[in-house]
Amino acid sequence: MYAPRGPVCDFHNTYVLSKLIERAKLFADKYNAFMLKIDPMISYDDYESVNILTGMGFRHNPDMPEDNSVQSLQNYVLDIEGKAKEEVFNSFHSKWRYNIRLAKRKGVECDYHNSSLDAFYNLMKETGERDGFCIRSKEYFRDMLNAFGDNARLYMCYTPEGEEISGALAIRFGDRVSYVYGCSTSRHREFMPNYLMQWNMISWAIESGCRIYDFMGIPHCHEENHPNYGVYRFKKGFNGKVVRYAGEFDYIFSRMKHFEISFMLNMLGYRKM
Asked if 166 and 197 count as a contact pair (C-beta separation under 8 A), the reply is yes
Q: How far apart are CA 176 and CA 211, in angstroms?
A: 6
What is the per-residue pLDDT across 151-173, written as a single tens digit (0 to 9) for each?
A: 999 999 999 999 999 999 999 99
What is the per-residue pLDDT across 172-223, written as a single tens digit (0 to 9) for each?
A: 999 999 999 999 999 988 999 999 999 999 999 999 999 999 999 998 888 9
Q: How far apart are CA 78 and CA 117, in angstroms?
A: 27
- Asked if residue 234 and residue 100 are part of one domain, the reply reads yes
In a domain, 25, yes or no: yes
- Asked if residue 111 and residue 179 are part of one domain, the reply reads yes
Asked if 246 and 38 count as a contact pair (C-beta separation under 8 A), the reply is no
In a domain, 162, yes or no: yes
Q: How far apart are CA 150 and CA 114, in angstroms?
A: 10
- Asked if residue 259 and residue 208 are part of one domain, the reply reads no
- 3 state SS of 86: helix
- Asked if residue 101 and residue 33 are part of one domain, the reply reads no
1-8 mean pLDDT: 92
In a domain, 186, yes or no: yes
- Asked if residue 79 and residue 65 are part of one domain, the reply reads no
pTM for this prediction: 0.90
In a domain, 87, yes or no: yes
Q: How far apart are CA 116 and CA 142, in angstroms?
A: 10
- Asked if residue 223 and residue 111 are part of one domain, the reply reads yes
In a domain, 103, yes or no: yes
- Asked if residue 53 and residue 121 are part of one domain, the reply reads no
What is the pLDDT at residue 227? 84
In a domain, 273, yes or no: no
What is the pLDDT at residue 272? 60
In a domain, 255, yes or no: yes
The DSSP symbol for 156 reads E
Number of domains in the chain: 2
- Asked if residue 261 and residue 192 are part of one domain, the reply reads no
Q: How far apart are CA 76 and CA 64, in angstroms?
A: 20
Asked if 40 and 6 count as a contact pair (C-beta separation under 8 A), the reply is yes
| Rounded-to-10 torsion of CA 134, 135, 140, 145 | 150
What is the per-residue pLDDT across 55-91, written as a single tens digit (0 to 9) for each?
A: 999 999 888 888 888 999 999 999 999 999 999 999 9
- Asked if residue 194 and residue 117 are part of one domain, the reply reads yes
Mean pLDDT of the chain: 94
Q: What is the CATH number of the domain that holds 218?
A: 3.40.630.30
Compute the half-sphere exposure of residue 82: CA atoms within 13 Å on the CB side of its CA: 0
Helix (H) or strand (E) holding 148: helix 138-148
In a domain, 179, yes or no: yes
The DSSP symbol for 66 reads T
What is the per-residue pLDDT across 242-251, written as a single tens digit (0 to 9) for each?
A: 999 999 999 9
What is the per-residue pLDDT across 117-131, written as a single tens digit (0 to 9) for each?
A: 999 999 999 999 998
- Asked if residue 94 and residue 9 are part of one domain, the reply reads no
Distances (CA, A) of 85 to 82, 154, 201, 206: 10, 21, 12, 7
Residues spanned by the domain of 258:
2-72+245-268
- Asked if residue 58 and residue 24 are part of one domain, the reply reads yes
- Asked if residue 81 and residue 38 are part of one domain, the reply reads no
Distances (CA, A) of 95 to 24, 87, 208, 239: 49, 16, 27, 12
